[in-house]
Structure 1
Amino acid sequence: MDYDPFSPAIAENPYPTYRWLRDNAPVYRSPVHGFYALSRHDDVVAALLDHDTFLTSHGTTLEGIEQGFDTLLTTDPPEHEWNRRILARRFSVARVQELESRIRAVAADLLDAARAGGRIDLVQDFSAQLPLTIIADLLALPADQRERVHELCFLLLDRGPDDTPGVRPAASVAAGEELATLFLTLVAQRRAEPGDDLISLLVHAPIVDDTGGERFLDDRQLLGRLIELTFAGHETVKKLVSTGAVRLAANPDARRELVADPGLIPGAVEEMLRIDPPAQYTGRWTSRAVEMHGTVIPADSRVVLLLGSACHDERVHPDPEAFDIRRQIGRQLGFGYGIHLCVGAAFARLEARIAFAELLARFPDYQIDHAGVVRTYSSNQPGLKRLPLVLAPA
């Protein structure tokens, strides 16, 4: 069996292929694209923790979405730690909890607006809009630019089933260029007139290295951080909430349990992260040759760490294809692991928990209009572009 992350069939259901890889080719080499892939849970975790051997500075996606951007995810130690400190406190669990009332109010407004019509596109009108509104608040994005930023983030990632594998479509490249212009304009404004927002923080907070030396992010680094924050700040939650809603519709007993006891929602969100992680893989680059399971991965090789497969590894998760909202997951890989664990993980968890609490309180018996479902394709973040729901108010 071949594993081609650009295949529409893989985007729609990769898990049977992942199981074959785990059982038959735990160190797989793509005959077409040339990368290596690790699929077993323990191997993926070991690579995520070995940041001296498995580097991120050569990029983490096969399409090269991050090319030209200096992001946290594509920065190796020690620079990674120096840069991460700027944002870590802003996205601590305690700081994130301060946003709960605002997140809940936005979620309620979006859902209540759909009540009269009896329908909602859960992706376009809720799971994308909720996190976009909150991250836009934190960045103090001008109101007239917010929807365009959402459109550009979508275009940056969107792939069609007929697009050339491994090549960014022209629309993706153009979206990146437009985002760059937009954010650099805001950077110049906040450099001259700082405020109490994340852009101003990044512009004016110095990076302090291990020797105590200080410097400030340049425009290229600022651009990378802002695109990373905006993209990850709403694309992750958009996918998590939409795929979670599909899982609940397919598991009505679990949905009834959550309606009856909303206290189970945090555990359900963890299971959603496990069974459908927002990123199916994260890419690395080997700094030296590595031997695993009798296969040598040469130095200077692209390695794909299959988070989606690791989360379904029956060696760690019994009956991994079952959606179990009471599952004790242990090590969660849905937001990555190790030094590159998503800096906004607590933020995304809170948004997802509130999203499902508000959705199920209002529309516990929503139904999916399957005729209107539209998928989007990428090698590591496939998901849903349209998810129309028929709403039955509580």
Structure 2
Amino acid sequence: MEYDPFSPAMAEDPYPTYGWLRDNAPLYHNAERGFYALTRYQDVLAAFLDAETFLTSHGTTLEGLEDGFDTLLTTDPPEHDWNRKILTRRFSAIRMQELEPRIREVTTMLLDDARDAGRIDLVAGFSARLPMVITAEILGLPVDQRDLVRDLCGRLMERDITDTPGVLPASAAQAAAELAQIFLALIAERRSRPADDLVSLLVHTPVVADDGTEYYLADHQLLGRVAELTVAGYETVMKLVSSGAVRLAEAPAARAELARDPSLIPNAVEEMLRMDPPAQFTGRWTSRDIEVHGTVIPADHRVLLLIGAACHDERTYSHPECLDIRRDVGRQLGFGYGIHLCLGAALARLEARVAFEELLSRYPTYQVDYNGIVRTYSSNQRGLKHLPLNLNPSVNSAVQ
């Protein structure tokens, strides 16, 4: 069996292919695309934890999505550690909890706006809007630019089935250029007029090396940090909430239990993330030869860590294809692991928890309009572009 991450079939349902790979090719080699792939949970976890062997500085996508952006994710130690320290405290779980009232305010506004219509596109009308509002406020992005930035983030990540596989399409490159202009203007503004936001923190806080040497980030480095925080903060929650809503619709007993007992929602979010991690893979680059399952991966080769496959590994999870809202997920790989664990993981968990608390308190029996679902064909991400929901199916049926 062939595994091609750019195949439309992988966007539709990659899990049967992942199962075959775990059983028959735990170390998979695609010579045409030029990568190896790890597919089992323990192998992916080990690679996440071995940052000396599996580097990120050569990029994490196959088509070079990060080219031109100096991101935290694509920085290896020790520079990675120095840079991450600037942001770690701001994204701590305790600091994120301070945002809960605002997150709940935005969530309730978006969901209540759909009440009269009785329908909502959960992506376009909710899960794409909530994280962009919160991320934009954290960064200090002007209100009048947020809709444009949300649209550009979508264009940056989305692929069409007619695009040349493995090549960054012109539409994505243009979106990247437009985002760069917006972010560089914001960086220049905050350099001259600091505010209480994350961009100002990045501009005016020095990076401190192990020997005590200090330096400030250059514009191209600041651009990479802002773009990374924006796109990651938007994409992850948008896909996690919409995919999770579908999983719950397919498990009505579990959904009803969550509606009755919202205290179960945080663990349910972990299970949704395990079942449908927004980032299906992340790339690494080998710094040395390393043997895995009797085969040597040579130095200076691309290795994909198949998060989506690892999270469904029967060797780690019993009945991995079944949603179990009480499952002990253990070491969650859906946000990555090790030194490159998603910086905004606490924020994403909080946004997803509040999203499901409010959705299920208002519309506990929502119904998915499967005919209207549209999936995205997107780099290493997997998710939905449109998810129409009938919010009050019993009421609507009575009217008809």
User: How far does residue 12 in structure 1 lie from its aligned partner after superposition?
Assistant: 1.1
For residues 125 and 378 of structure 1, the distance between their equivalents in structure 2, rounded to whole angstroms, comes to 20
User: How far does residue 64 in structure 1 lie from its aligned partner after superposition?
Assistant: 1.1
Percent of residue pairs bearing the same amino acid type: 68
Which of structure 1's runs of 4+ aligned residues deviate more than 6 A? none
Match of 2:35 in 1: 35
The answer to whether structure 1 residue 24 and structure 2 residue 37 are counterparts is no
Report the secondary structure of 2:74's partner residue.
coil
For residues 332 and 88 of structure 1, the distance between their equivalents in structure 2, rounded to whole angstroms, comes to 19
Q: Is the 8 A contact 2:52 2:287 kept in 1?
A: yes
The answer to whether structure 1 residue 378 and structure 2 residue 378 are counterparts is yes
Q: Is the 8 A contact 1:11 1:379 kept in 2?
A: no
User: How far does residue 34 in structure 1 lie from its aligned partner after superposition?
Assistant: 1.7
> For 1:274-313, what aligned pairs fall within 5 Å after superposition?
274-313=274-313
User: How far does residue 378 in structure 1 lie from its aligned partner after superposition?
Assistant: 2.0
Report the secondary structure of 2:202's partner residue.
helix
Match of 1:364 in 2: 364
Question: Which runs of no fewer than 5 residues in structure 2 stay unpaired?
Answer: 396-400
Report the secondary structure of 1:51's partner residue.
coil
For residues 378 and 93 of structure 2, the distance between their equivalents in structure 1, rounded to whole angstroms, comes to 31
For residues 249 and 32 of structure 2, the distance between their equivalents in structure 1, rounded to whole angstroms, comes to 37
For residues 313 and 348 of structure 1, the distance between their equivalents in structure 2, rounded to whole angstroms, comes to 24
Match of 1:170 in 2: 170
Give per-residue Cα distances to partners, 1:321-347, cap 9 Å, x unaligned: 111000011111010000000011000
TM-score normalized with structure 2 length = 0.97
Name the aligned partner's letter for residue 256 of structure 1.
A
Match of 1:189 in 2: 189
User: How far does residue 31 in structure 1 lie from its aligned partner after superposition?
Assistant: 3.4
The alignment covers a number of residue pairs equal to 394
Match of 2:76 in 1: 76
Match of 2:13 in 1: 13
Give per-residue Cα distances to partners, 1:43-99, cap 9 Å, x unaligned: 111111111111000000112111110001000000000000011000001100000
Match of 1:239 in 2: 239
For residues 121 and 292 of structure 1, the distance between their equivalents in structure 2, rounded to whole angstroms, comes to 44
Match of 2:214 in 1: 214
Report the secondary structure of 1:58's partner residue.
coil
Q: Is the 8 A contact 1:121 1:388 kept in 2?
A: yes
> For 1:239-258, what aligned pairs fall within 5 Å after superposition?
239-258=239-258
- Over aligned residue pairs, what C-alpha RMSD do you find? 1.0
Give per-residue Cα distances to partners, 1:76-126, cap 9 Å, x unaligned: 000000000011000001100000000000000000011011111100110
Give per-residue Cα distances to partners, 1:233-286, cap 9 Å, x unaligned: 111000000000000011111101101111110010000010101100110000
Match of 1:93 in 2: 93
The answer to whether structure 1 residue 123 and structure 2 residue 123 are counterparts is yes
User: How far does residue 161 in structure 1 lie from its aligned partner after superposition?
Assistant: 1.7
Match of 2:49 in 1: 49
For residues 188 and 231 of structure 1, the distance between their equivalents in structure 2, rounded to whole angstroms, comes to 20
Question: Which runs of no fewer than 5 residues in structure 1 stay unpaired?
Answer: none
TM-score normalized with structure 1 length = 0.99
Report the secondary structure of 1:29's partner residue.
strand
Match of 2:332 in 1: 332
User: How far does residue 162 in structure 1 lie from its aligned partner after superposition?
Assistant: 2.0
Match of 2:398 in 1: none
User: How far does residue 229 in structure 1 lie from its aligned partner after superposition?
Assistant: 0.4
Report the secondary structure of 2:280's partner residue.
coil
Q: Is the 8 A contact 2:157 2:379 kept in 1?
A: no
For residues 192 and 125 of structure 2, the distance between their equivalents in structure 1, rounded to whole angstroms, comes to 35
User: How far does residue 140 in structure 1 lie from its aligned partner after superposition?
Assistant: 1.5
